[in-house]
Amino acid sequence: MREEMGEKSMTLKFKANILKKFVNNEGLFHLKLDRTYFYPDGAGGQLGDRGTINGKRVLGVIKQGDEILHILAEDVKNKEVLCEIDLERRFDVSQQHTGQHILSTVFQKKFNAHTLSFHMSEEYSTIDLDTIYLTKEIAKEVEMKCFEYIIAAKDVKIYFVDKSKVSSMPFRKIPQNLPAKVRVVEITGVDLSLCGGTHVKNTAEVGLIKILKWEKVKGKNTRVYFLCGNRAIKDYQLKNSILYNTSNMLSIGIKDVFEKVKREHEELMATFKMMRRLKRELVSYIVDELYANAIVKDGDRYILRQFKDAEMMRYVAAELVKKYDVVFFLGTTNGKPSLMLGKGDKAKYDVLSYAMNWKERLALRGGGKRNIITLLFEEKGSFESMLGDIKQNIMEVKDV
C-alpha cells in the first residue's frame, strides 16, 4: 500500500493479477490483487476509491490487516485484470482531503485550535477541534485565510522520509507508533503533515472551502462541518437558487428575505398558538356533549366518534380520561387512519385488551400509556374493518 499511494498515487489505470478471491454471505465477490492503487474506505478518515476491474463495477474497497480487498457484485474470470479508478470521485475526495489540511492548519496557526480527528462522508466532511470557542467572525476569518492559500496555487508534494527525521521536521501533528518510513504530504509554505490519503496537485485545485456549521461535542470540543471544491460550488448553487426563488415569491430583495420570513413565521406561530388555545376551549364543550349523549351499557358509558382533525381528537381523548369515567373509541382518517381507545379509571370495560387484540390481529403499529392507546393503520380497509366491529356493539359514528 505504501508504494502504491506514494509518488505514484495519481495512477488511475493499471494491470494486476488476482491473488485471492472469495464470496461472502451476501454474494459479493472479494478480490485481493498483487498490486493496487485503489484507496480503501475509511483509511485516514477519507472515502475510498471506486471504479472498475475488467469492466465490473467496484462497490467498495476495504482494508483487512495488511490486505486490500476489492468488493464487486459480479465475478471476474481472468487472473490478469485491468483496473480503472473513477477519476471524478478520486478528485472529489482529494479536494476534500487537501482542503481539510488547509482548514486544520489555519485553525491551528491563527487560533491555536488543534484538529483531533477528521471524517469524510458522501455529503460533507468534519474536523473535531480541541476548543469550544468558535464564532461566526472566526469562521469567516478562517475561510478567507484558506482562500488566500488556495489562490496562491501552492504545490502539494507527497514523499517518504525515514522515521528518524520526523522529530526534526515541523509537522502539524505527530502520531505515535510510526513505521520505519512515513508518508509526508507537504503544502509548500502552508502545512506539513504525516498522511496516507489522496490529495490534489496544488491548492488551486481545491477551489473553495466553505464552513457550513459547527457544534459542541463531548463538552469541550467543537465539530466543524465543511465542504471543498465542487461540493462547495454545488452547495452554493442550490442555496442561491432557493434564496433567489424565495425572494421572487415574496417580491423583495435577497437581503430582506430573512427578516421577511422571520416576521411571517412569527405571525404564523402566533396564529397556531391562538388556534390551539381555541381548540382547547372548544374541547371542554365537545367532551360534555359526548358524555351527555353517551350510550349506557352494562354500567358503563360508551362514546364512539370520528374526527376530521387529528389534533382535536387527541385533545378530546386526554380530556375524557381526565374528566369522566367513560369508555371511548375516537377515530380519524385525516392522513393515515388511526383510532384512539381509552377509559376512565372507574370504567369496567377492558378497552385496552380489546385494542391489543386488534393490534395483533391486523399487525398494527401503535401504543400508549396509562388509559389511552393509539392504533395506526396503513390502509383504510383495516381501519373500517375494526370500526365496523365497534359499530355492531355500540353506535353509529358521527363527525365533529
**DSSP states along 318-354:** HHHHHH---EEEEEE-SSS-EEEEEE-TT--S-HHHH
- CA dist 256 and 296 (Å) reads 61
Count Cα neighbours of 273 within 13 Å in the Cβ-side half-sphere.
6
Please check the confidence at residue 219 and state whether its pLDDT lies above 60. Answer: yes
Same domain assignment for residues 58 and 131 = no
Percentage of the chain beyond pLDDT 70 is 96
Same domain assignment for residues 352 and 376 = yes
Predicted confidence at residue 397, as pLDDT, reads 40
The tens digit of pLDDT for each residue in 221-234 reads: 999 999 999 999 99
Do the domain assignments include residue 46? yes
Query: Model pTM?
Result: 0.73
Please tell me whether residue 210 adopts helix, strand or coil conformation.
strand
Please check the confidence at residue 62 and state whether its pLDDT lies above 70. Answer: yes
Same domain assignment for residues 149 and 236 = yes
- CA dist 59 and 79 (Å) reads 19
Do the domain assignments include residue 382? yes
Predicted confidence at residue 61, as pLDDT, reads 97
If one counts every other C-beta atom within 10 angstroms of the C-beta of residue 56, the result is: 18
Same domain assignment for residues 128 and 221 = yes
8 A C-beta contact, residue 228 and residue 95: yes
Nearest to 217 by CA among 135, 138, 128, 133: 128
Same domain assignment for residues 291 and 228 = no
Average pLDDT over residues 13-31: 95
Residue type, 388: G
Please check the confidence at residue 170 and state whether its pLDDT lies above 90. Answer: yes
- Domain boundary (242, 261, 279) is at 242
Please check the confidence at residue 277 and state whether its pLDDT lies above 80. Answer: yes
Which of 61-65, 155-159, 272-276 is the least confident region? 272-276
8 A C-beta contact, residue 107 and residue 115: yes
- CA dist 267 and 264 (Å) reads 5
- CA dist 192 and 173 (Å) reads 9
Q: Which domain holds residue 188?
A: 91-242
Rounded to the nearest 10 degrees, the angle between the axes of helix 310-323 and helix 257-292 is 50
Residue type, 131: T
- Domain boundary (85, 118, 139) is at 85
Predicted confidence at residue 2, as pLDDT, reads 44
Greatest Cα pair distance in the chain:
91
Query: What is the tally of structural domains in the chain?
Result: 3
- Please report, for the domain that includes residue 22, its CATH number: 2.40.30.130
Average pLDDT over residues 199-216: 97
Same domain assignment for residues 389 and 297 = yes
Classify strands 327-332 and 300-307 as parallel, antiparallel or unpaired. Answer: parallel
Indicate the Cα dihedral angle 324, 328, 333, 334, nearest 10°.
Answer: 10
Do the domain assignments include residue 373? yes
Same domain assignment for residues 40 and 137 = no
Do the domain assignments include residue 254? no
Do the domain assignments include residue 103? yes
Which residues, listed in sequence order, are joined to residue 118 by a DSSP beta bridge?
127
The tens digit of pLDDT for each residue in 345-400 reads: 888 888 888 889 889 888 899 888 778 999 999 888 888 888 888 887 665 444 44
Count Cα neighbours of 32 within 13 Å in the Cβ-side half-sphere.
11
Same domain assignment for residues 38 and 125 = no
Nearest to 290 by CA among 263, 253, 315, 254: 315
Which of 45-49, 75-79, 296-300 is the least confident region? 296-300
Please check the confidence at residue 336 and state whether its pLDDT lies above 90. Answer: no
Do the domain assignments include residue 148? yes
Structure-block grid coordinates of residue 91: 478528485
Residue bearing cell 509548500 = 188
The tens digit of pLDDT for each residue in 127-168 reads: 999 998 899 999 999 999 999 999 999 999 999 999 999 999
Same domain assignment for residues 121 and 238 = yes
Number of helices (H) and strands (E), helices first, in the chain? 7, 19
Q: In degrees rounded to 5, what are phi and psi of residue 79?
A: -80, -45
Do the domain assignments include residue 197? yes
Which of 113-122, 138-147, 294-303 is the least confident region? 294-303
